[in-house]
Amino acid sequence: MLDFLTQKVHDENRQGEAYAPFAVDENQYKKHFYIESYGCQMNFADSEIVASILQEQGFGATRNLEQADLIFINTCSIREKAEQTVRKRLTDFKKAKKSNPGLLIGVLGCMAERLKAKFLEEEKLVDMVVGPDAYRSLPALIEEAETGQKAVKVLLSRDETYADIAPVRLDSNGVSAFVSIMRGCNNMCSFCVVPFTRGRERSRDAASIVAECETLYRDGYKEVTLLGQNVDSYHYFDESVGEAVTFARLLEKVAMIAPDLRVRFSTSHPKDITEEVLQTMARYENICKYIHLPVQSGSSRVLQLMNRTYTREWYMAKVDRIREVLPDCGISSDVIAGFCTETDEDHQDTLSIMEYSKYDMSYMFFYSERPGTLAARRYTDDVPLETKKQRLSEIVALQGRLSRESNEKDLGKTFKVLVEGPSKKNPDEWMGRNSQNKVIVFPKPAELKKGDYLEVTVTDCTQATLIGNVRSEK
């Protein structure tokens, strides 16, 4: 195996995952493509759309770089480090191109959108730069690049949702799948590059979402996660029946497909999650009791600078309401340390709101200024890196304690668990998730298969995982 394959950045969050649909693919293809994805779940879902568009045109996916005629890297711009990871990976591809000069390299996603043609100047080996709304043009762009010209398409669209494209489920566990319900974001949080790289918010046709979920269920999937940057602002007017579909209504439609199809969603902006959504979650057992509710900061002053449009108190009241309506709901968060002007007092507010909200889990970052964002234009990135890192380490340590405490509260409880497959650490054990999205590991009972539901009683835990014993099959 080439050495650059083994150096691949590959963490638990699937960063850099390469896709191939079949272990043994009997189909004849004119060319093979290799695609690697970075960043959020939306990017991973987009790579499945890209794979579908390419397969339709006679290109086959490969997980083997040496076999590839085309390499695509689906990129993330959210923090500087995410971009550095991609740049580093591109240097690996240089070696592949040296040994195969006909190889074409395409950069997809948010970095392509942010840097546009500049990418071609900065990274000479890149042949195609394709933004997130231009994937339908990929076959034409490949043809253009094959003639030796560089191909760029980065126009953002107001209506592209790829609603009619059935994503190719690549490297899926066959149990859970992501379904994109909207694209873009209108929120303009001042730190965030997403509104610039993914464009205006648009909701996908509700009927096509329900149809995709029905197909997944028929194919044996037992869990769908409805994806969007801000799912609670989903809104689609279905002219055929004259019905306005809100996110709550969409959730209900998907939940009604089958009682044993679990429904999850991500991400909720605290300002948009409605009472109607909470009540819908309460009504359907198969809508998972788990909400990712990013707080970003616990200081009302910083939240205002971030343009999050809620205060500390408002957020805390939202957490209270979730706990009232859904007493057993898991809540997780995103937290940013060291945003512009953040004082130690602001940081203490972040720690105390985490403590108040008792998050089961958080994604935690230090602030990374992104060119072109409102914050980059308006504020000075004035918290020293050392201070950012110190505050982040305190946030991480606190979350560690909160996660452990949350797991310890589950000792002795019995959960309905959807089995995803063997545990990564020990093949004699299997893993699944409960409704609250917590991972549970348990000894493999006889006759178990992926996609089964089990009752598992928690006997032990670590900070990240519940450990249990099977009570019965459901």
Residue 403 binds ligand SAM, judged by CB under 6 A: no
Q: Nearest approach, Cβ of 261 to ligand SAM (angstroms)?
A: 25
The residue among 177 and 192 lying less far from ligand SF4, judged by its C-beta, is: 192
Residue type, 216: L
The residue among 124 and 377 lying less far from ligand SF4, judged by its C-beta, is: 377
Question: Which tokens belong to 70?
Answer: 């085309």
The residue among 194 and 224 lying less far from ligand SF4, judged by its C-beta, is: 194
Q: Nearest approach, Cβ of 222 to ligand SAM (angstroms)?
A: 26
Within residues 214-243, the interface with ligand SAM by CB under 6 A covers 229-230
The residue among 195 and 451 lying less far from ligand SAM, judged by its C-beta, is: 195
Instruction: Please enumerate in sequence order all residues whose Cβ is within 8 A of that of 48, keeping only pairs 6 or more positions apart, or say none.
Output: 19, 167, 168, 169, 170, 178
Within residues 307-336, the interface with ligand SAM by CB under 6 A covers 334, 336
Per-residue contact flags (x/-) with ligand SAM for residues 59 to 78, judged by CB under 6 A: -------------------x
Q: Nearest approach, Cβ of 186 to ligand SF4 (angstroms)?
A: 8
Assign residue 458 a region (left: φ > 0; alpha: ψ between -120 and 50; beta: otherwise).
beta
What, of ligand SAM, ligand SF4, none, does residue 365 touch, CB below 5 to 8 Å by kind?
A: ligand SAM
Which helix (H) or strand (E) segment is 254 a member of?
helix 247-255
Tell me how far CA of residue 389 lies from CA of 337, 339, 392, in angstroms. Answer: 8, 12, 5
Residue 290 binds ligand SAM, judged by CB under 6 A: no
The residue among 300 and 307 lying less far from ligand SAM, judged by its C-beta, is: 307
Residue whose token pair is 């409880």: 413
Within residues 335-354, the interface with ligand SAM by CB under 6 A covers 336
The residue among 161 and 187 lying less far from ligand SF4, judged by its C-beta, is: 187
Within residues 186-205, the interface with ligand SAM by CB under 6 A covers 191-192, 194
What, of ligand SF4, ligand SAM, none, does residue 370 touch, CB below 5 to 8 Å by kind?
A: ligand SAM
Pick from 368, 414, 463, 469: which binds ligand SAM (CB under 6 A)?
368
- The answer to whether the peptide bond before residue 267 is cis (omega within 30 degrees of 0) is yes
Question: Which tokens belong to 443?
Answer: 């000894």
Assign residue 174 a region (left: φ > 0; alpha: ψ between -120 and 50; beta: otherwise).
left
Neighbours of 329 (CB within 10 A): 20
Q: Nearest approach, Cβ of 335 to ligand SF4 (angstroms)?
A: 12
Instruction: Please enumerate in sequence order all residues whose Cβ is within 8 A of that of 163, keeping only pairs 6 or more positions apart, or say none.
Output: 204, 205, 208, 209
Count of residues that bind ligand SAM according to CB under 6 A: 18
Q: Nearest approach, Cβ of 132 to ligand SF4 (angstroms)?
A: 13
Q: Are 455 and 417 in contact (CB under 8 A)?
A: yes
In our burial notation (b when 16+ CB lie closer than 10 A, e otherwise), range 241-274 reads eeeebbbbbbbbbbbebeeebbbbbbbbbbebbe
Q: Are strands 104-109 and 182-183 parallel, antiparallel or unpaired?
A: unpaired
Helices assigned H by DSSP within 358-409: 374-378, 385-409
Count of residues that bind ligand SF4 according to CB under 6 A: 10
Residue whose token pair is 């933004």: 131
Q: Nearest approach, Cβ of 195 to ligand SF4 (angstroms)?
A: 5
Pick from 197, 296, 435, 437: which binds ligand SAM (CB under 6 A)?
296
Residue 230 binds ligand SF4, judged by CB under 6 A: yes
Which helix (H) or strand (E) segment is 441 a member of?
strand 439-443
The residue among 194 and 245 lying less far from ligand SF4, judged by its C-beta, is: 194
Residue 364 binds ligand SF4, judged by CB under 6 A: no
Query: Reduced to 3 states, what is the DSSP secondary structure of residue 71?
Result: strand
Residue 40 binds ligand SAM, judged by CB under 6 A: yes
Which helix (H) or strand (E) segment is 325 a member of?
helix 312-325
What, of ligand SAM, ligand SF4, none, does residue 195 touch, CB below 5 to 8 Å by kind?
A: ligand SF4
Q: Are strands 223-227 and 202-203 parallel, antiparallel or unpaired?
A: unpaired
Q: Nearest approach, Cβ of 418 to ligand SF4 (angstroms)?
A: 28
Pick from 128, 192, 231, 354: which binds ligand SF4 (CB under 6 A)?
192
What residues form DSSP beta bridges with 36? 18, 73
Which helix (H) or strand (E) segment is 113 a member of?
helix 110-115
Q: Are 473 and 457 in contact (CB under 8 A)?
A: no
Q: Are 333 and 355 in contact (CB under 8 A)?
A: no
Pick from 107, 141, 185, 319: which binds ligand SF4 (CB under 6 A)?
185
Binding site for ligand SAM (CB under 6 A): 40, 78-79, 191-192, 194, 229-230, 267, 269, 294, 296, 334, 336, 365, 367-368, 370
* Interface residues toward ligand SF4, by CB under 6 A: 185, 187-189, 192, 194-195, 229-230, 269
